[in-house]
Amino acid sequence: MYSGETNSAWHKKGGTLSDKSARKEFGITQEEIIDAIRDGRLQYRTNNVFGNPYLRLIRSEVEAFVDEKYGNEYLTKKKTRNELAQTNKELKKLKAQAASLEKRKTELIDILDE
């Protein structure tokens, strides 16, 4: 491995994503991914987890591909929807955690009042 390779998108955290993640995050199909790979618009590497193969794609290339195919507004809406879903998920988790802490607080107050 030469020094320039460590700075490439393949090695950056969040620089790549799986084909499944690309389908979910950007709303594209497996056929579109395969066609873009064949056309040379997307680079890929094959990986596997527990013997199950998948394609690793460069996130910036997938974003450029989606922008080119569907337009910038589509990509912006998809990113906003994904961020909203993540925010809602985090809020739900925090609400559950707050409820648990309130319950524990009540239990501790009851122990002190005894």
The burial class, CB within 10 Å (0-12 / 13-18 / 19+), for 90 is exposed
Residue 107 has pLDDT above 80, yes or no: yes
Instruction: Grade residue 80 by pLDDT with cuts at 50, 70 and 90.
Output: very high
To the nearest 10 degrees (0 to 180), the angle between helices 72-113 and 19-26 is 90
Average pLDDT value over all residues in the chain:
91
Task: Please compute the mean of the pLDDT values over residues 91-95 and round it to a whole number.
Answer: 97
Query: Amino acid identity of 50?
Result: F
pLDDT at 22 > cutoff 60:
yes
Grade residue 1 by pLDDT with cuts at 50, 70 and 90.
Answer: very low
Instruction: State the pLDDT at residue 14.
Output: 86
Task: Show the beta-strand stretches assigned E in 1-114.
Answer: 16-18, 44-49, 52-58
